[in-house]
A and B are shown apart, each in its own frame.
Chain A
Amino acid sequence: MSARAIATWLSGPVLRAAPEGAFVLREAVLVGEQRLLGEVIRVARDEITIQVYEDTSGLRLGEVVQGTERLLSVRLGPGILGGIFDGLLRPIAFDPNDPETAWVQPGLHQRAPGRFHFRPSVAVGDRLAPGAVLGEVAPEAEPGPERDLAERGPAGSGPADEAEAAPRLRQRCLLPPDAQPGELIALAAAGDVLEDAPIGRMRAADGSEYAIRLAHPWPVRLPRPVAKRLPADEPMLTGQRILDCLFPIARGGTASIPGGFGTGKTVLLETIAKWCDADVIVYVGCGERGNELAGLLAEFLELEDPRSGRPLLERTVVIANTSNMPVAAREASIYTGITVAEYFRDQGLDVALMADSTSRWAEALREVSGRLGELPGEGGYPAYLSSRLADFYERAARVETLAGAQGSVSVMGAVSPPSGDFSEPVTNHTRRYVGGLWALDVRRAQSRFYPAIDPLSSYSNSVQDLARWWHREGCTRWEALRRRFLTLLEAEARLERMARIIGRDAMPAPQRVTLLAAQLVNEAFLRQSAFSAIDRFASPQRQAVMMRLIGRFIEEAEGLLERGVAPEHLAGAPVFRALIRMGEEIGEGDWERFSALDRELTATAHRLVEEVEAVQAEQSEQTEGDANAGQGAA
Chain B
Amino acid sequence: MYARLSGEDIATRIDGPLLFLQRSVDVGLNEAVEVEDRTGRVRLGRIAALDQDSVTVEMLDATAGLGIAGARVRFFGEPLRFHVGPGLLGRVFNGVGRPLDGGPPVAAQQAFRVDGLPLKPSARQAPSEFLETGVTVIDLMNSLVRGQKLPLFAGGGLPHDRIAVDIACNARLPGAQRERRGAEYRASQEGEHGSGQAGRHRARHGAGQRRGHGASNGVGEGAGAEQGPGAETGYRAAQGAAHGAGHGTERGDDEFAIVFAGIGIPHGSAEFFRSRLEQSGALARTVLFLNLASDPSAQRLLTPRFALTAAEYLAFTEGKHVLVILTDLTNYCEALREVSASRGEVPSRKGYPGYMYSDLATLYERAGRIRGRPGSVTQLPILTMPNDDITHPIPDLTGYITEGQLVLDRALHRRDLYPPIKVLPSLSRLMKDGTGAGLTDPDHPALAAQLYAAYAQAQQTRMLASVVGEDGLTEQDRRYLAFGERFETEVVAQTGRRTLAQSMEAGWRALRGLPQHALTRLSNQQIEIHLAVADAADNADTSDDADTSDNAEAAAVNAAQDVDQGSDADSDAGTDADSNAGSDATSGAGSDLGSKVGSGVGLEAGPKRGATAKPSA
Contact = CB atoms under 8 A, between A and B. Distances in A.
Interface of A: 8-12, 55-62, 84, 92-94, 96, 99, 101-105, 260-262, 285, 287, 289-295, 297-299, 318, 320, 322-325, 327, 360, 363, 366-367, 370, 373, 376, 380, 416, 418-421, 445-448, 499-506, 523, 531, 566, 568-569, 572, 576-577, 580-581, 584
A179 B137 CA distance: 62
Interface string B417-457: 00000001101011011000000000001000100110011
B49 A104 contact: no
B472 to A, nearest CB: 5
Given A58-B31, A416-B400, A569-B546, 11 more contacts: A57-B79, A60-B26, A102-B119, A261-B405, A287-B361, A320-B122, A327-B355, A367-B358, A370-B346, A370-B348, A446-B425
A9 B50 contact: yes
Contact of A419 (B28, B391, B405, B456): B391
Contacts of A363: 354, 357
B121 A419 contact: no
Nearest to A374: B346
A87 B464 CA distance: 51
A290 B124 contact: yes
A12 B47 CA distance: 12
Nearest to B428: A262
Interface in B22-65: 23, 26-31, 49-52
Interface stretch (B225-233, B362-370, B568-576): B362-370
A380 B354 contact: yes
A183 to B, nearest CB: 43
Contacts of A445: 427
B405 A291 contact: no
Contacts of A8: 51-52
Contacts of B477: 504
Interface in B315-360: 345-346, 348-349, 354-355, 357-358
Most buried by B among A99, A297, A324, A499: A324
Contact of A289 (B346, B365, B397): B365
Contact of A448 (B405, B452, B464): B452
A423 B430 CA distance: 30
A504 B366 CA distance: 50
A58 B520 contact: no
A430 to B, nearest CB: 17
Closest 4 CB pairs of A and B: A323-B361, A419-B391, A294-B124, A447-B456
23 contacts: A57-B30, A58-B31, A59-B29, A61-B26, A92-B122, A262-B399, A287-B357, A287-B358, A291-B147, A291-B368, A293-B124, A298-B126, A324-B119, A324-B358, A324-B362, A324-B365, A376-B346, A446-B424, A447-B453, A502-B468, A504-B474, A566-B549, A572-B546
Given A56-B29, A503-B464, A294 B349 contact: no
Nearest to A92: B120
Contact of B126 (A102, A291, A569): A291
Contact of A370 (B354, B368, B427): B354
Given A60-B27, A94-B371, A298-B126, A505 B147 contact: no
Nearest to B348: A380
A501 B466 CA distance: 10
B517 A103 contact: no
A534 to B, nearest CB: 11
Interface in B219-273: none
Contacts of A366: 348, 354
Contacts of A577: 517, 520
A324 B364 CA distance: 9
Nearest to A577: B517
B472 A506 contact: yes
A9 B365 CA distance: 29
Most buried by A among B373, B429, B463: B429
Contacts of A93: 120, 122
B565 interface: no
Contact of A294 (B51, B118, B121): B121
B472 A503 contact: yes
A448 B520 CA distance: 13
Nearest to B78: A58
A584 B524 CA distance: 12
A572 B518 CA distance: 9
B315 to A, nearest CB: 12
**Interface band, chain B:** 35 or more
Most buried by B among A57, A285, A577: A57
B372 interface: yes
Interface of B: 23, 26-31, 49-52, 78-79, 115, 117-127, 147-148, 345-346, 348-349, 354-355, 357-358, 361-362, 364-368, 370-373, 391, 393, 396-397, 399-405, 424-425, 427, 429-430, 432-433, 445, 449, 452-453, 456-457, 463-464, 467-468, 472-474, 477, 517, 520, 523, 542-543, 546, 549
Most buried by A among B78, B123, B368, B373: B123
Contacts of A318: 121
A322 B79 contact: no
Contacts of B397: 418
A327 B365 CA distance: 14
Nearest to B366: A324
A60 B2 CA distance: 16
A219 to B, nearest CB: 26
Contacts of B355: 12, 327, 367
B546 A568 contact: yes
Contacts of A104: 117-120
A94 B456 contact: no
A96 B372 contact: yes
B427 A262 contact: yes
A290 B51 contact: no
A104 B523 CA distance: 45
B468 to A, nearest CB: 5
A105 B119 CA distance: 9
A56 B357 CA distance: 18
B358 A500 contact: no
A568 B549 contact: yes
Contact of A421 (B148, B391, B403, B453): B391
A141 to B, nearest CB: 20
Most buried by B among A9, A94, A287: A94
Given A322-B118, A448-B452, A531-B432, A57 B29 contact: yes
A506 B429 CA distance: 39
Contacts of B391: 418-421
Contacts of B346: 370, 373, 376, 380
Contact of A11 (B49, B78, B358, B429): B49
Contacts of A367: 354-355, 358
B578 to A, nearest CB: 30
A94 B122 contact: yes
A572 B456 contact: no
A324 B361 contact: yes
Contacts of A324: 118-119, 358, 361-362, 365-366
Nearest to A366: B354
Nearest to B113: A57
Contacts of B464: 499-500, 503-504
A380 B427 CA distance: 30
Nearest to A327: B358
A418 B393 contact: yes
A373 B368 CA distance: 36
Most buried by A among B118, B424, B430, B467: B118
Contacts of A376: 346
B326 to A, nearest CB: 16
Contacts of B546: 566, 568-569, 572
Contacts of B453: 447-448
Nearest to A576: B517
